[in-house]
Chains A and B, each alone.
Chain A
Amino acid sequence: GENVEQHPSTLSVQEGDSAVIKCTYSDSASNYFPWYKQELGKRPQLIIDIRSNVGEKKDQRIAVTLNKTAKHFSLHITETQPEDSAVYFCAARYNYGQNFVFGPGTRLSVLP
């Protein structure tokens, strides 16, 4: 079955710096890759996603890139702010109707 690895497990950056989180997946047939953000004590929420026919997607300060050949995708956050501090989960899905497989999460701390 699908397996998703995520690195790093923890990441600390200074406010204003960029943060990058990388995930690798095992099933080359996976075609949809969302990212969820979970603030402390709150529920995970979708922040951005990418489909396998696209190489990059941006939404203001966040972007996701996908390398299908290497089977990895990355979350990029620019100009980080304290409110970006949270746990970020990547996920992969093989096909519509299949379940998502989540990575173990990255705890991002943005230091003022």
Chain B
Amino acid sequence: KAGVTQTPRYLIKTRGQQVTLSCSPISGHRSVSWYQQTPGQGLQFLFEYFSETQRNKGNFPGRFSGRQFSNSRSEMNVSTLELGDSALYLCASSSGQDHTGELFFGEGSRLTVL
């Protein structure tokens, strides 16, 4: 079974631009969560999508948005990029239906904002 795939793996943007990141979950998984990882801040929860609906949302500004498609693939978008948005963005998929909800992470998309 293929793992969670994220694209692109690396990207460089300048302040004010926007970026779209993509995540393909494990086949059969209906939940996709997005996390921002920065040194010293751990894994900050952005949002979770389940069956094309946003089920949970973290404390990030409205510049961060996401969506999920009918095949469970998800995208997140960051508009009007700021220097502080430089981070590793991880997505994680889970079945979304079991009591533990183990998260299976992708390798991440490393965003650098100049």
Contacts and interface: CB of A to CB of B under 8 A. Distances in A.
22 contacts: A9-B40, A34-B102, A34-B103, A36-B103, A43-B4, A43-B105, A43-B107, A43-B108, A44-B90, A44-B103, A49-B100, A51-B100, A89-B43, A97-B55, A99-B45, A100-B33, A100-B45, A100-B103, A102-B35, A102-B42, A103-B42, A104-B42
A34 B4 CA distance: 19
Interface residues of B, number: 25
Contacts of B106: 43
Interface in A31-48: 32, 34, 36, 42-46
B35 to A, nearest CB: 8
B75 interface: no
Given A32-B100, A43-B106, A49-B100, A99 B42 contact: no
A46 B103 contact: yes
B28 interface: no
Per CB-CB distance, the 10 closest pairs between chain A and chain B, nearest first, are A104-B42, A99-B56, A43-B105, A102-B43, A105-B42, A44-B105, A99-B45, A102-B42, A46-B102, A43-B107
Contacts of A98: 56
B1 interface: no
Contacts of A43: 4, 90, 105-108
